[in-house]
Structures are given as structure tokens and as C-alpha cells.
Amino acid sequence: MISSSPTGRSVGPDPVDAVAPCVVTVGAVGGLHQCPTVDDEEETHVTKHNRSTVMAVLGALAVAAATVGGAGSAAAAVPQVTPRAVAGFTNHAVFVQTDNPSGNQIVVYDQAADGTLSAAGTYDTGGLGAVAAGAVVDPLASQGSLALADGGRVLVAVNAGSDTVSLFRVSGDRLALWQIVPSGGQFPTSIAVDRGLVYVLDAGGEGALQGYVLVAGTLRPLPGSTRSLGLANTDPPNYLAAPGQVGFTPDGSQVIVTTKTSGSDIDVFSVGWFGLLSLHPVANPSATPVPFSFSFDPAGHLVVTEAGSSDLSVYTVNADDTVSALGSVSDGQTALCWVTEVNGFFYGSNAGSADVSAFQVGAGGVPALVGVAASTEGGTIDSAATPNGRYLYVENGGAGTIDEFHVNADGTLFEIGMVTGLAVPLEGITAS
């Protein structure tokens, strides 16, 4: 059965209004300029977008921003962030979010040539972390709360306790806080990036998506982009009922949200002109209960962790925003919630059994369990792989550690080290 969840929101004014740039003034308090929110009032028709046309529009926005910045005296030059010279440093780093309710921070680690990590610095996001109701080891109960964008030159983080999103400029292992914007809803937990488009998932209350355009390394709220998920959560939401992740399909034509126990649905939106989403998602029941997080295989199949029975399920995402189930397999562990794809293997974090399972997806989209790839410390949660596929880093929210693994050609994991001393709980990790 396929149903549509009402949003209760309308599409706003002509997106061409987004051309005016958000000027970042270094002389402002904290060196930041907070962009205004956008009211959604006027409904308009959204059609499936032509990707080249949308990217041309985004390019025009960037040109407009540069033009206005060059002409206006209030515009500021981008700060130069110089990487530190560290012996053995590969100019790659791992970024970890503390999600501390007293003050959210990003902890940065240098990645050595052998994949081991060493502390490089800690940066305030300018916002507050928060803990979902009932959460013990995973305070945000989500995947994708940190995201790199613009070819790794930008890092975006959620501040669930202050309903904001922070943007950092990145250079190697150095960060510069550049911007803080409203998230468009309550309790932001996950970020989706597709080239110049960014969508943030707000998990509290009715649940919502808020769109932005990334222009010259700065987030501009996209007029008329707010979409309700039609949920009935509290703020903060319960960790089981809060939606788990937002993400784009590989071709950027659709946006997906997993709702966990709030229907056990996989919501699919079409991406229309100017990056606006369809007014309502198609709510597709998951193959097994509690769809939590997802990734994609090389063939473009949607690969979803379903925590109710610790299953990995695979789907085809159809052009009409429905999904077709291709198969499911359980790992026999407890609370399979997070998943990261590396070299064709899918590594799932089992929060309840403190281990990582490995899966593969066959040519027809049928998943198979390879086995338990590694044991971890308590509260195995989010993970991130290096872009070259050599290393996997796994957060342990109950222990305050990060396990460091080398990814072998056969999919097995070899532990090469561990980061200790992080506060608990924590959530959010990505690697450059």
C-alpha cells in the first residue's frame, strides 16, 4: 500500500528571489552574519527538475553573490585557513561532533598515512547539542548529522538544542566557523548534500525538511522549500519515533527520509525546479520494522537498516517515488541502525550488541550477510569511511571512543587503533 503524508505547508514565492546573496560580515559579533528565515505563503506547481538547468541556476546564484560581494562595501573576503604542518599528516581528517547540550563542538583528528588518528583541535559550533527522549548511546538517533560539501571545503553541522545549522570553512585539519542559520524546524538531526543543494531534517514536532542553496561557500535558505513530514513527535522527539536520516538519491532527483516507528515508512520526495521538493512525499512501508538509516549500492539500489529485527533491506527507488523491495537479511544481532558503504561492502553498526556486521548486495539487489566484521566498545553508533575506501572509523556512544579499522579487500576489518577520552554520549562523524 502506498500513501501520502500531508505536509500542511505550501510552496513559497518564486525561487528566483533567492538570487540576493547572504553577506557574511567578519566584523559582526563572533565574525558571523545570521541569514534570515523565509516565510512560505504562496503555492506553486513543482515539476521534476532537469539537473543541468538547476545547476545552471545555482551557478548563476554564485555569480550573483560574487558580483554583489565585489560591489558592496559590507562584503568580506573569505578567511584563509591554513593547514598545519604535521609530520606524517596526509592532509585528510576525521570530524566528530560532541552534541553537548552545554555547547556543541567539532573535534578534529589528523589521519596519518597508516589510518591512525591524532587530535588536531576542537571548535565550537556556536550552537547547542541535545538528547532525544529515551536515548542512551545515540543522542540524535540519526545518521548524517555532519556533512562535508563543496568538495570538502565546507563542513555543515546540526545544533539540535538551538534549532540551528553551523557552517565551517575547511582546510585540511583546520576549521573556521563561518555561518549559523536557522534549521527551519525543531531538533535538526541530519543533513543531505547534492552539489549546490542542501536539505536539513528537523526531527521534532511534525518533522520537516528545510532547503538551502550553497552559494560561494555560504548557505542561503531556499524560499518555499520547507516540507512537513506530518508526524506527531514531541520536542525533543523520542529516539525511536524521530526520523532517522535525509539523503539524496545518487542522481539527485529524489530525497529520501526514514521515519523509524513513526509509521515505519520510507518517504520519497521528487526534486523539482530550483531544487524544490514535491509538496508531499510518497510514504512507502518498509519491508521490516523501524527503517533507520540508508546508503546506496553502485547500481543505485537503496540499502536500508531496519532496526526492529536488525535487517538490511534493499529497494529499487522508482520514478514515481514508490520503492520496490528486492530482499532483506538479518544479521542476528541487536539494533542494526547505522550503515556505511565501503568498496561494495555495507558495514552496519549494532548498538545493542556492540559490533559491526558486514553485508554485500548482489547484482539483482539481493542482500547477503558476510558476518560480524568486528567487535567494538559499548554503544556502537555512527561510522565514516575515508574517500579512498581504506579506513573505517566507528563511534561508540556508550564508551566515548572511536574504533579505527583498515578495510581489507575481502571486506574483513583489521583494527589499527582507538581514540579514547570523548565525552558520552556523542554522535556525528565524517571523514575527508
pTM: predicted TM-score of the whole model, two decimal places: 0.84
- CA pair distance 290, 261, nearest whole angstrom: 5
Range 21-39+47-431 has CATH code 3.20.20.10:
no
Q: Does position 213 have pLDDT exceeding 60, yes or no? A: yes
Q: How confident is the model at residue 90, as a pLDDT?
A: 65
Q: How confident is the model at residue 58, as a pLDDT?
A: 55
Q: Does position 62 have pLDDT exceeding 80, yes or no? A: no
Mean pLDDT of the chain: 85
Q: How confident is the model at residue 280, as a pLDDT?
A: 97
Q: Are strands 380-385 and 174-182 parallel, antiparallel or unpaired?
A: unpaired
Q: Which three cell numbers stand for residue 105?
A: 563542538
- Region 264-274: mean pLDDT is 97
- CA pair distance 181, 158, nearest whole angstrom: 10
Q: Does position 9 have pLDDT exceeding 50, yes or no? A: no
CA distances from 106 to 118, 142, 198, 337, 428 (A): 14, 17, 20, 23, 9
- Region 169-189: mean pLDDT is 97
Q: Does position 77 have pLDDT exceeding 50, yes or no? A: no
326: left (phi over 0), alpha (psi -120 to 50) or beta: alpha
Instruction: Name the residue among 89, 94, 79, 90 with its Cα closest to residue 395.
Output: 94
In terms of C-beta density within 10 A (0-12 exposed, 13-18 middle, 19 or more buried), how is residue 362 classed? middle
- CA pair distance 231, 283, nearest whole angstrom: 12
- CA pair distance 193, 400, nearest whole angstrom: 28
Q: How confident is the model at residue 394, as a pLDDT?
A: 98
244: left (phi over 0), alpha (psi -120 to 50) or beta: alpha
Q: Is 279 helix (H, G, I), strand (E, B) or coil?
A: coil
Instruction: Name the residue among 330, 285, 296 with its Cα closest to residue 312.
Output: 330
Q: Does position 291 have pLDDT exceeding 90, yes or no? A: yes
- Region 46-73: mean pLDDT is 42
Q: What is the DSSP letter of 195?
A: T
Sheet architecture: strand order including 345-350? 336-342, 345-350, 355-361, 367-375
pLDDT class for 4, splitting at 50, 70, 90?
Answer: very low
pLDDT digits (tens, 9 = 90+) for 86-142: 445 568 999 999 999 999 999 999 999 999 999 999 999 999 999 999 999 999 999
Q: How confident is the model at residue 91, as a pLDDT?
A: 83
pLDDT class for 49, splitting at 50, 70, 90?
Answer: very low
Q: What is the DSSP letter of 185?
A: S
Least confident piece of the model among 35-44, 158-167, 271-280, 292-301: 35-44
Q: How confident is the model at residue 68, as a pLDDT?
A: 33
- CA pair distance 209, 207, nearest whole angstrom: 7
Q: Which three cell numbers stand for residue 91?
A: 592532509
Q: How confident is the model at residue 50, as a pLDDT?
A: 46
- CA pair distance 347, 374, nearest whole angstrom: 10
CB within 8 Å of 30: residues ≥ 6 apart: 126, 177
- Region 366-380: mean pLDDT is 96
